[in-house]
Structure formats: structure tokens, C-alpha cells
Amino acid sequence: MAAALLACDWGTTNLRAWTLDDRGEVVARREFDLGVSKLAPGEAARRFESEVQPALEAEDLPAILCGMVGSNLGWTTAPYADCPAGLSDLARSLVAVEAHAAWVRIVPGVRASGLAGAPDVMRGEDTQILGWVASHPDRAQGTHLVCHPGTHAKWVVVEDGRIARFVTAMTGELFAVLSRHSVLKGDGPTDDADAFDDGLAAAGEGDALAARLFTARSRVVGAGKSAASTPSYLSGLLIGAEVAAVPKLLGVAQGVPVSLLGDAALCGFYARALQRRNVDCETFDGEAAARAGLFALYQLGERA
């Protein structure tokens, strides 16, 4: 297979890059410790040319990049496309950047009306979600609820192949902060299934989260539970509260099936939470969706 495109998902903490052939199949893959949070202003362009392109022998290939590389922390700011947004909308808004290649573009993020009068935004997840849509014709019809777990989890309503609206939940970041810098901190594992399930039960309907969180401490000091079980309990409580409460913010009826898109291990925790609430769900590979989205955007953008 001959490489035809360099595709990059360049986020806050790392960069995943692939060369793809003319059908979108993977020729080569590399991962780089080049998250934009670690780079100085102007460094993204230099590192792309000095490290990413050579590592994949892609100096002469067209390239398309999504994620936080298109933010004010990255290479250049790619303005948000407003919802509803589909592949064609993002393709029309691709941002060209100077590089040692004939065609290099950065995918814009997506913006929606959010909570309390503030907008909600995403970068990178939009490419994965629309790549998921592009991977099967049935997903371009009707209404679907997609959950993309992560540091800032995204719950997305897809209507007729376009991102219609979404809500962000800072569950992953809350877990990191609370488990490292609060009275709930602990060094135990996060795979204690019984403690995780106890956390799911304690989450209730996701209301009064600040009060429910204290149970992660009181169960240890007042009921003799193992402190090592606290991280798993806290994870279950936070994910359970998210799963219970966030779909309602999107106007989604209880029990609507959920498509989980992303890392398989993390999606597994969400699947456990959803199954406890008798919600059907199916997990899809986020990396494959990112590649599909980048390739589809390249095809549309090249013709624009």
C-alpha cells in the first residue's frame, strides 16, 4: 500500500499520527509525546516538520490535523463551526497552514448552545463522531445519542448525520483533581468492581453531587470501608452521576440507546453504568473513527 495522506489527531497530551492509503486504510502509525500543552508558541509547526513528517516518511504528503492543535494553544486557531455541523460544514472551514507540504489543513472545532447561557465547545471529538457517522450509512439517518468519554466527556445528539447539540461533562478532570488534591485522595486501584458498583448506587440520579461525594470519605472513616477502594468508588459515583443526569440536559428520553465512542477500557466503565440503568449501549473504536473522519474531511476538503 502506498501512503497518500498524513492524518493527525493532536490533542492536549499527545499526538497520534497515521499515514493512510487512497482508500483510507492504515499504512503506518506513530504516537508522539507532543501534546500542545507541552509546546511553546510556534513550536507545533517546527515539531511537525522536524519530527512527525520524517518519522512517517510523509514530508511530501498532504496532511490533515484535528484536535487541540487548532486551538489558541496549538499551531493556529481554527474557528468553531456552529451546530448543526456535519462533515461538509467542517470541510468548508478547514484552515490552511504553512508547512513543507503541498496541502496541510487543520479541522475546526464545533460550538453549540450550552448551559446557563454559555456556549459549549469541542475539538477533536467532532472529527471522531463524524467519522463514526461516515463509517456506516445507517448512522447518517435518524437520531443517535453518542457518548465520548474522556477528561471532558461529550454527550452528543446526532441528527441525520450532523452534530445537532451536545453537553460536556468534566468527569475525568473532576476525578483527577479529587483523587489527588482533596480529602478523597487515595492510591488504590480503579478496577475494584464492587466499590465501583457501590459508587454507581450512591450516584442516584446525579443530583446533589457535592453532597454525594462526601460519602467517598464517610464510608471509610464511619463505616470501615477500605481506603484503597476509594478511587474505584469515586469513579463509579462520578460516572454514575454523569450517566444519570447529562442525557436529560439534552432533552433525551430515559432509556434511549447510547453509542460509546473512544478508549475501550474507559467505555467499559460507562457501559457498566448504563447497563445498571437498563440502557442499551454499544462500544466503538475511537481511533478508527478519528481516522475515518480525517480521511472523509480530506476527501471533501481537497475537492473544495
Same domain, 243 and 122: no
pTM across the whole model: 0.95
Give 121-178 pLDDT, tens digit per residue: 999 999 999 999 999 999 999 999 999 999 999 999 999 999 999 999 999 999 999 9
Closest CA to 288 of 62, 132, 70, 78: 132
Same domain, 214 and 278: yes
Question: Does residue 159 lie in a domain region?
Answer: no
Question: Does residue 93 lie in a domain region?
Answer: yes
Same domain, 28 and 134: yes
Same domain, 236 and 292: no
Percent of the chain whose predicted confidence (pLDDT) is above 90:
94
Question: Does residue 151 lie in a domain region?
Answer: no
Same domain, 77 and 133: yes
CATH of the domain at 84: 3.30.420.300
Give 240-287 pLDDT, tens digit per residue: 999 999 999 999 988 899 999 999 999 999 999 999 999 999 999 999
Q: What is the DSSP string of 67-112?
A: SGGGSTTSSS--PPEESSB-HHHHHHT-EE---SSS-EEE---EEE
Same domain, 181 and 201: yes
Same domain, 129 and 65: yes
* φ, ψ dihedrals at 91, nearest 5°: -60, -35
For range 211-231, the mean pLDDT: 97
pLDDT of residue 186: 84
CB count, 10 Å around CB of 120?
A: 16
Q: What is the DSSP string of 195-234?
A: HHHHHHHHTTTS-SHHHHHTHHHHHHHTT---GGGHHHHH
**Structural domain containing residue 9:** 5-138+287-303
For range 55-70, the mean pLDDT: 97
Same domain, 53 and 88: yes
Same domain, 97 and 197: no
Checking if the pLDDT of 187 tops 70, the result is: yes
pLDDT of residue 138: 94
Question: Does residue 280 lie in a domain region?
Answer: yes
CATH of the domain at 200: 3.30.420.310
Question: Which cell goes with 243?
Answer: 450517566
Question: Does residue 147 lie in a domain region?
Answer: no
Question: Does residue 191 lie in a domain region?
Answer: yes
The residues, any chain, with a CB within 8 Å of residue 131's CB and separated by 6 or more, are: 288, 289, 290, 291, 292, 293, 294, 295, 296
Same domain, 81 and 102: yes
Question: Does residue 149 lie in a domain region?
Answer: no
Same domain, 179 and 292: no
pLDDT of residue 303: 65
* Cβ proximity of 140 and 113 under 8 Å: no
Whole-angstrom distance, CA of residue 148 vs CA of residue 95: 25
Same domain, 66 and 119: yes
For range 198-227, the mean pLDDT: 97
Question: Does residue 145 lie in a domain region?
Answer: no
Q: Tell me how many domains the chain contains.
A: 2
